[in-house]
């Protein structure tokens, strides 16, 4: 049974996450169909301002569709979406997206790639140079500022893409399987780095992944989705203390929550027991 996130109002009538914090993203009864295919069915979700939410589910359950609707790259078939109180169909201001493939510009240095969003909004690059260098420092790439993307490993390129996404201080960061193409060790390090960046910047994050572990280790709440039609099966709060670091893997709550999610996928036929 899907547990819909509660929708409350604060004293000004502004929607809140239910815990009293102002709402960053609110979806009400959102469905999306592509012809006969119902990609998402009646999704209700409220993400608090500054919350880190992970979405986990099998291929085809509608994770990317959810992200595309929130980013306004696509419109819902029915239902409504507001992002920081804005219900307009235009891409929300202050939003940044990181995809699985870094899409860095091959002809620009790492620093110039990180500065690219400033060009896009017509800001002077030199105003952002210090910020860009600070971000490159945080993601361990300061020494590579003058290099070109082809001179970096896959993990380094993805770090540069994350630095670029943070240049204009987004209040909403949408991440679509950002670590999906990385090896396990790099992925673990990226997880630690992303948590550190989030603790520093406290933007609202929607993080899509196929990894149960990654979702539980990173998120304040994990949205568990199941397919045909894509729907929210469960919303699971994770209260492991931050910074979670490597030790979180041994935390009893990590084992409990990842076990519960595994059970959901087993019961829905997404996973099969080995015996």
Ligand X SMILES: Nc1ncnc2c1ncn2[C@@H]1O[C@H](COP(=O)(O)OP(=O)(O)OP(=O)(O)O)[C@@H](O)[C@H]1O
Which residues make up the interface to ligand X (CB under 6 A)?
34, 37, 39, 57, 59-65, 230
Give the C-alpha separation, 126 to 141, whole Å: 19
Give the C-alpha separation, 237 to 223, whole Å: 9
Shortest distance, CB of residue 262 to ligand X, whole angstroms?
Answer: 17
**Closer of 12 and 59 to ligand X (Cβ):** 59
Query: Do β-strands 231-237 and 15-16 pair in parallel, antiparallel, or remain unpaired?
Result: unpaired
Shortest distance, CB of residue 57 to ligand X, whole angstroms?
Answer: 6
Shortest distance, CB of residue 62 to ligand X, whole angstroms?
Answer: 4
**Closer of 55 and 132 to ligand X (Cβ):** 55
Sheet of 23-34: strand order equals 37-48, 23-34, 78-83
Shortest distance, CB of residue 89 to ligand X, whole angstroms?
Answer: 17
**Closer of 63 and 157 to ligand X (Cβ):** 63
Give the C-alpha separation, 134 to 253, whole Å: 34
**Closer of 112 and 176 to ligand X (Cβ):** 176
Taking Cα atoms as reference points, which of 102, 233, 119, 84 lies closest to residue 156?
Answer: 102
Class of residue 215 by CB neighbours under 10 A (exposed 0-12, middle 13-18, buried 19+): buried
Residue 225, SS3 per DSSP: strand
**Closer of 54 and 156 to ligand X (Cβ):** 54
Shortest distance, CB of residue 60 to ligand X, whole angstroms?
Answer: 4
Are 115 and 67 in contact, with CB atoms under 8 Å apart?
no
């Amino acid at each position: 049974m899907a547990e819909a996130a509660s929708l409350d109002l604060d004293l000004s009538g502004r929607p809140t996450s239910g815990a009293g914090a102002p709402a960053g993203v609110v979806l009400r009864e959102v469905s999306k169909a592509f012809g006969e295919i119902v990609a998402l069915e009646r999704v209700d979700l409220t993400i608090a301002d500054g919350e880190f939410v992970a979405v986990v589910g099998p291929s085809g359950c509608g994770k990317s569709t959810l992200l595309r609707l929130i980013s306004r790259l696509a419109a819902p078939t029915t239902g409504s979406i507001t992002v920081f109180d804005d219900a307009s169909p235009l891409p929300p201001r202050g939003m940044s997206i990181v995809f699985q493939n870094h899409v860095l510009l091959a002809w620009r240095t790492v620093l110039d790639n990180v500065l690219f969003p400033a060009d896009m909004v017509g800001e002077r690059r030199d105003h952002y140079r210090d910020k860009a260098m600070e971000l490159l420092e945080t993601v361990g790439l300061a020494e590579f500022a003058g290099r070109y993307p082809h001179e970096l490993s896959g993990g380094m390129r993805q770090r540069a893409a994350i630095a670029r996404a943070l240049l204009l201080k987004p209040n909403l960061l949408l991440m679509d399987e950002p670590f999906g193409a990385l090896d396990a060790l790099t992925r673990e390090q990226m997880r630690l780095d992303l948590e550190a960046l989030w603790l520093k910047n406290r933007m609202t994050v929607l993080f899509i992944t196929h990894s149960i572990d990654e979702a539980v280790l990173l998120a304040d709440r994990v949205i568990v989705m199941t397919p045909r039609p894509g729907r929210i099966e469960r919303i699971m709060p994770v209260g492991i203390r931050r910074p979670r670091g490597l030790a979180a893997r041994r935390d009893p709550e990590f084992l409990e929550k990842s076990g519960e999610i595994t059970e959901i996928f087993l019961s829905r036929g997404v996973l099969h027991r080995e015996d």
